[in-house]
């Protein structure tokens, strides 16, 4: 196969891509430094097709954010509030269960739950939440809930180890963990913007523990704030090393930083160029993670659609009532219909595949969207 590259610096990387050889740190930095965006896209699309053919995945899911009351109050977060502050909210268990049940008639295969670190809710609240959801939801609806940051918090308030927390939640019916809370694996950025949050080593350890217990997880990277290109590449390599060790990551989701309403609101936010390049580089660097997801809530519908020729094989799902990114100024819809997702994929010439959290195929559509 011949790639049409305008930057000679990409030629040795292209040779590695064709040979299926793992890229190194210097390769990742070179990919960020090049101005040949379409060259990077060609390399990433080649890898995507080698792994996933012409399939682009989506799902019918429901996001629930039980509370935005959080004891951490990180500088980059527009979602969190203190108890009693204007805009603070908390859902009861009955309200959480009712919201989850609403998605069943719509054909959902996942309930996705993340929220703030509520200072007054005991660990038993979360165990009861999962248990009650498992009792009322059909077996095919997967409960994907609680970031590694939340798991570490539950360990602190319960006196249990993080592995014991995970085991109790699994026993109650937890199926999978989302990938949030990783941010950037850099102590420099952590100290500046989220110093109370889970350390890189602990985030990776908790996901490794989940994998050892048979709990699949996703992984993420928050980019477009105060991090460097080198720190982005280092983050990807640490995820790749963890996948080599424990093998439980389902998908990688780069998360574009939204600065509005945060203490970092002076930052400009990401561009479409940076979004597409980061998605493509993720596909090239993460050779052992099967799926790369463009979260349309964060990058926008048009970039998510275009990303399917930049290494992306998944554009997430119907979502429904996502709050965290929208409170940081996201202008995307809070939900999409299944038909809209199928149409987006069909327009790109790819095959839409409806999936569940574990990438089990629910339905494959033809080029007419049927």
- The torsion defined by the Cα of 322, 333, 72 and 226, in degrees rounded to 10, comes to 140
Rounded CA-CA distance 141/176 in Å is 11
- Cα distance between residue 313 and residue 298, in whole Å: 16
Average pLDDT value over all residues in the chain: 90
CA distance 177 to 251: 11
pLDDT tens string 181-192: 999 999 888 887
Question: Which pLDDT value is given to residue 250?
Answer: 98
CATH class of segment(s) 8-364: alpha beta
pLDDT score, position 44: 98
Answer whether residue 325 shows pLDDT above 50. Answer: no
Instruction: Reply yes or no on whether the pLDDT at 195 is more than 80.
Output: no
**If 0-12 CB within 10 Å is exposed, 13-18 middle and 19+ buried, where does residue 86 land?**
exposed
pLDDT per residue over 265-279, tens digit each? 667 778 999 999 999
Indicate whether 167 pLDDT > 70. yes
Calculate the alpha carbon distances from 225 to 127, 135, 284, 293 in Å.
Answer: 34, 41, 22, 20
Extents of the domains making up the chain? 8-364
The string of DSSP letters for 296-319 reads HHHH-HHHHHHGGGTT--EEEE--
What letter would DSSP give residue 329? T
Q: Is the pLDDT of residue 72 over 70?
A: no
Query: If pLDDT is split at 50, 70 and 90, which confidence band does 141 have?
Result: very high
- Residue 355: half-sphere exposure toward Cβ, Cα within 13 Å: 20
Q: How confident is the model at residue 332 (pLDDT cuts 50, 70, 90)?
A: very low
User: Which pTM was predicted?
Assistant: 0.92
Cβ atoms of 349 and 361 within 8 Å: the answer is no
Residue 331: its pLDDT value, please?
44
330 or 66, which is more confident? 66
pLDDT in tens, 205-264: 999 999 999 999 999 999 998 899 999 999 999 999 999 999 999 999 999 887 666 666
Burial environment of residue 348 by CB neighbours within 10 A (0 to 12, 13 to 18, 19 or more): middle
| 87 or 40: which leads in pLDDT | 40
Spatial distance between the Cα atoms of 284 and 281, rounded to a whole number of angstroms: 5
198: its two tokens: 């889970």
The reported pLDDT for the residue numbered 77 is 67
């Amino acid at each position: 196969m011949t790639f049409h590259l305008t930057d000679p610096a990409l030629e040795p990387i292209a040779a590695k891509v064709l040979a299926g050889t793992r890229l190194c740190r210097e390769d990742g930095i070179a990919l960020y430094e090049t101005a040949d965006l379409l060259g990077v896209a060609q390399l990433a699309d080649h890898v995507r097709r080698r792994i996933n053919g012409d399939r682009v995945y989506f799902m019918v899911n429901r996001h629930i954010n039980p509370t935005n009351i959080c004891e951490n109050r990180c500088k980059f977060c527009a979602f969190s509030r203190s108890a009693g502050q204007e805009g603070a909210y908390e859902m009861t268990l009955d309200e959480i269960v009712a919201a989850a049940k609403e998605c069943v008639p719509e054909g959902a295969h996942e309930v996705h739950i993340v929220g703030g670190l509520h200072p007054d809710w005991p660990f038993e609240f979360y165990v009861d939440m999962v248990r009650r959801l498992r009792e009322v939801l059909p077996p095919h609806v997967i409960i994907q809930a609680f970031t590694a940051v939340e798991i570490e918090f539950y360990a602190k308030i319960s006196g249990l180890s993080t592995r014991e927390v995970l085991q109790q939640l699994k026993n109650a019916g937890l199926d999978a963990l989302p990938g949030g809370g990783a941010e950037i694996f850099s102590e420099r950025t952590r100290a500046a913007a989220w110093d109370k949050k889970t350390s890189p080593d602990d985030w990776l350890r908790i996901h490794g523990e989940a994998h050892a217990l048979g709990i699949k997880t996703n992984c993420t990277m928050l980019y477009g704030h105060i991090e460097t290109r080198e720190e982005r590449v280092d983050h990807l390599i640490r995820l790749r090393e963890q996948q080599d060790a424990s093998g439980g990551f389902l998908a990688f989701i780069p998360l574009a930083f939204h600065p509005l309403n945060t203490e970092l609101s002076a930052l400009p936010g990401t561009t479409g160029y940076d979004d597409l390049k980061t998605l493509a580089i993720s596909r090239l660097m993460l050779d052992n993670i099967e799926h790369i997801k463009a979260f349309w809530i964060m990058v926008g519908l048009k970039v998510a659609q275009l990303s399917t020729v930049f290494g992306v094989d998944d554009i997430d799902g119907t979502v429904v009532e996502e709050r965290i990114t929208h409170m940081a100024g996201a202008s995307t819809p809070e939900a999409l219909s299944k038909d809209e997702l199928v149409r987006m994929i069909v327009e790109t010439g790819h095959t839409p595949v409806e999936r569940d959290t574990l990438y089990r195929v629910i339905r494959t559509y033809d080029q007419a969207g049927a």
